[in-house]
Structure 1
């Protein structure tokens, strides 16, 4: 199977990164490490800059000098790559949901489709202060975090006045939604988590 050489570090780069990180964590200078390992400063520098492929013997002496077991050096190299999804600002997929026609914009921030969707994060923008809003009820737990504006948010029979930095988490089966937009524009992050059974 071909490695993705654009995104995965080559072995020399990986070794360079781990060795340099460990040396600096130990507050050792290249001169100290070279002396302890019995290597030239030039060789240590080349290894740390991924300019040379080194023998296991040299690598073993270098690892001993910085207190990094050679088995630990390689422990993360062949770990399976993750499948993280980066969504750049303003590039979430716009979706139509109940409320879209009422001046709400929904941007789905992650649309990774695994075996089953268990998480849906939305960036919701609302800009019409006079609108009456529908209530929502759906499976799962929901977490909302207010980024901008002020809102009166309903969950069941309770009303919560929210300002930037406030968050609310709740059972999403219970009817919920904006009751009143107190200060627009409003921007909130909504994360819905579905049970995965």
Structure 2
């Protein structure tokens, strides 16, 4: 998806504008320099956790890398008009889960929350990769069911259930019962 290559280009542009070397940004974001190079140069898409760490290290909100445009005032998205934005996976070269994100606020400038509709593809793997990042997440299950590994606990959520969690705790969200799931997720990351 061409939008995915824009993330790396925007990261590189902000990094260079701030006169931060790739090595320094990788260190500040706790990433491997090779990963950062792949994101900037090859269009590799970072995990959501890594994108949050990069945005924090650069001192910008995560939406800076996801926005197509900026609009003052409210952003209205009619049903069925969500823009397919990005697919995130883990840093593992063979990701075990696949998350498709549809932004509900790409047009809203200076936002502090990131609302998404998230489609989760089922996985046959059982050793899910946990991630952590600053901020908070609110998740509402719209379709299917999900399992959430949160620290040492496991939560099973069905259609209509929700959870509000601290993102700094290692966590993973994946489809349960080997079936696709759909969520409303609102992510807050302090700048």
Matches of 2:189 and 2:134 in 1, distance apart? 7
1:179 to 1:106, Cα distance in 2 relative to 1, 3 A: closer
1:87 is the counterpart of 2:81: no
- What is the distance in 2 between the residues matched to 1:110 and 1:142? 16
Q: Which of 118, 121, 130 does residue 127 from structure 1 map onto?
A: 121
Change in CA separation of 1:112 and 1:180 when aligned onto 2, cut-off 3 Å: closer
Partner of 2:27: none
C-alpha change, 1:94 and 1:188, in structure 2 (3 Å) is same
How many aligned residue pairs are there?
114
Task: Confirm or deny that 1:175 pairs with 2:170.
Answer: yes
Q: TM-score, normalised by structure 2?
A: 0.52
Q: Deviations over 1:98-136 (max 9, x none)?
A: 259643211121124534x41111111122241454322
More displaced 10-residue stretch of structure 1: 153-162 or 104-113:
104-113
**Which of the pair has the greater relative contact order for Cα pairs under 8 Å at 6+ separation?**
2
Considering only CA atoms, is the larger Rg found in Structure 1 or Structure 2?
A: 1
With normalisation by structure 1, the TM-score equals: 0.50
Distance 1:180 1:87 in 2: 25
Give the secondary-structure state (helix, strand or coil) at the position aligned to 1:184.
coil
Change in CA separation of 1:146 and 1:84 when aligned onto 2, cut-off 3 Å: same
RMSD: 2.5
* TM-superposed deviation, 1:84: 0.9
Please tell me whether the aligned partners of residues 150 and 183 of structure 1 are also in contact (alpha carbons under 8 angstroms).
Answer: no
Give the gaps of 5 or more residues in structure 1: 1-81
Matches of residues 128-147 of structure 1 in structure 2 within 5 Å?
128-132=122-126, 133-147=128-142
